[in-house]
Amino acid sequence: MRIAIFTDTFLPQVNGVVRSIVTTANVLAKHGHSIAIFTVNAEKLSKKIKAKELDERIQVYPFSSFALPTYKELQVRIPTFVPSLYEVYRFNPDLIHSHTTFGIGWEAVMSANFLKIPLVGTHHGFLAEFLKHVKLDYRIMKPLARRYLSFYYNRCDAVISPSKALVKELLQYKLRRPVHVLSNPVDLKYFSTNKSKEYLRKKFHLNKPAIIHFGRLSYEKSTDLVLRAFAQILNWGIDAQLIVIGDGPERGKLEALGRKLNIDKSVEFTGTLRDNDLTERIAAGDFFVSASTIETQGLVFLEAMALGLPVIGVNAGGVPEYVDNGKNGFIVESGNVRAIAEAMKKFIDHPELRGSFGQNAKECMKKYDAETIVGEIEKIYSALVKS
């Protein structure tokens, strides 16, 4: 098949949506499909894309965009339709897959209608929880944002979402299209290492329990609660280290919070890491923790589990659908700093628990392997193209 993917976030940006798109596109290309990605500012981004991250057979089409004044990391495209229609027409896809409901997402809708081909939409996140980024975090706006999502996805022939919680929200706001709950794919070959934990701990000079947090550092991820919980366990007399991997608009505030809590000597902010630098840093840790309440699935949870780390998450969003409480991790009450700290303490006090939970985590990840998940996506594509 010839498949056109539309997205308003792409490499070199680092987030769960980008990771999901890159993994899916690479496997599809490996399976012999022709893939083209239509994205924002690709003419600038593509110069920074490492060849080994994206299969060289995948085409990337550039479209002009601009950064929002209130949120410079978000690229926005006002749909003009003609350039995208021209490029899509030249590519001649059998199907279009949209990963955004914004400007370039409407170009996906228009292109699919113009070419009379199927349109698949993947719903990645709780839009209403991101309104603060664009200064629209008002009570009246949240239901409007949810209605907008269903309005958009009702223009698709099929909808994919990694979380039952997300699907429930769409259905509540009158989604009428066929919907498939399907995990985002995880490249288990990428999120693996042949280095032992002992070797990695020596490499990174870890001589105490190491807690890992990784992902985008933005307000909706509630990383401040992780820092506060970590401060709590230090106050209990536990000697540990927190490794914060990633970057984002809240990094400066989080570093300042670390100093305020007097834990900065026990917290390391690594910035963005990729490839072996990322996987080895995660694998060197003892367990992963996140306090985020807006995870549709929490791809970072799956990636940590793939590397054998047990996890701590909160009872919100899609996380409870993927973390088996008491088997591969702990689920605690959202917003409860003490509960997060107590879960941390339990893992630190009981290394045998970390070992058994970590093994369970790694074992459960086999069903989320990219080959398996992309195979299910191909079935959805084939059914639509044949109909």
The backbone torsions φ and ψ at residue 190, rounded to the nearest 5 degrees and listed phi first, read -70, -45
Q: Please tell us whether the domain made up of 197-368 is placed in CATH 1.10.10.10.
A: no
Identify residue 315 by its one-letter amino acid code. N
pLDDT tens column, 228-261: 999 999 999 999 999 999 998 899 999 999 999 9
Same fold, 2-185+369-386 and 197-368: yes
- Residue 50 has a pLDDT of 53
Residue 48: which pLDDT band, with cuts at 50, 70 and 90? Answer: low
* Per-residue pLDDT at 47: 52
Q: Where are the domains of the chain?
A: 2-185+369-386, 197-368
Which tokens is 162 given?
């990694």
DSSP 34-69: EEEEEEESHHHHGGG--TTTS-TT-EEEEE--EEET
Indicate if the pLDDT at residue 33 is higher than 50: yes
DSSP 94: S
Instruction: Say what angle helices 141-153 and 164-172 make with each other, to 10 degrees.
Output: 100
For the ranges 213-222, 225-234, 366-375, the lowest mean pLDDT is seen at: 213-222
Q: Please give the structure tokens belonging to residue 107.
A: 């170009």
Confidence grade of residue 88 (pLDDT, cut at 50, 70, 90): very high
Q: How much of the chain exceeds pLDDT 90, in percent?
A: 73
CATH of 2-185+369-386, one of 3.65.10.10, 2.10.10.90, 3.40.50.2000, 3.40.640.10: 3.40.50.2000
**Which of 51-55, 72-76, 285-289 shows the highest mean pLDDT?**
285-289
Look-up: residue for tokens 């409870």? 320
In sequence order, what are the beta bridge partners of 246?
Answer: 271
The pLDDT value recorded for residue 317 is 85
Report the distance separating Cα 149 and Cα 170, nearest Å.
7
Average pLDDT (62-69) is: 70
| Alpha-carbon 169 to chain mean position | 19
Mean pLDDT of 97-113: 95
The encoded tokens of residue 275 equal 């490839």
Q: Can you name the residues that pair with 98 across neighbouring β-strands?
A: 6, 121
Contact between 117 and 109 (Cβ < 8 Å): no
Region of residue 151 (phi > 0: left; psi between -120 and 50: alpha; otherwise: beta):
alpha
CA distances from 228 to 117, 282, 288, 327, 375 (A): 51, 21, 15, 25, 42
Residue 134: what pLDDT?
46
In the predicted structure, residue 70 carries a pLDDT above the cut 80: no
DSSP state of 185: P
Q: Give the pair of three-digit tokens for residue 187.
A: 């490249």
State the average pLDDT over residues 9-31.
91
Does 130 score more than 50 pLDDT? no
How high does pLDDT run on average in the chain? 90
Task: Compute the Cα dihedral for 240, 347, 242, 361 and give only its sign.
Answer: positive
Cα–Cα dist 312/325, whole Å:
9
Nearest C-alpha neighbor of 196 from the set 308, 310, 302, 278: 308
Distance CA 374, CA 361 (A): 21
Each residue of 318-332: pLDDT tens digit? 899 999 999 999 999
Assign 131 a pLDDT band (cuts: 50, 70, 90): very low
Residue 2: pLDDT over 80: yes
Question: How far, in Å, CA of 71 to CA of 249, rounded?
Answer: 9
pLDDT of residue 133: 45
- Give how far Cα 198 sits from Cα of 180, 193, 201, 249, Å: 41, 13, 5, 34
Distances (CA, A) of 236 to 191, 243, 345: 34, 19, 9
Cβ count within 10 A of residue 142 = 16
Identify the band that residue 6 occupies on the pLDDT scale cut at 50, 70 and 90.
very high
The pLDDT, as a whole number, for residue 139 is 59
pLDDT of amino acid 40:
84
Query: What is the predicted pLDDT for the residue at 294?
Result: 83
Q: What is the pLDDT of residues 145-202, one digit of tens each?
A: 889 999 999 999 999 999 898 899 889 989 999 999 999 999 999 999 999 999 999 9
- Tokens 């997300």 belong to which residue? 166
- Which band of pLDDT confidence, cut at 50, 70 and 90, is reported for residue 82? confident
Q: Answer for the pair 106, 78: CB distance below 8 angstroms, yes or no.
A: no
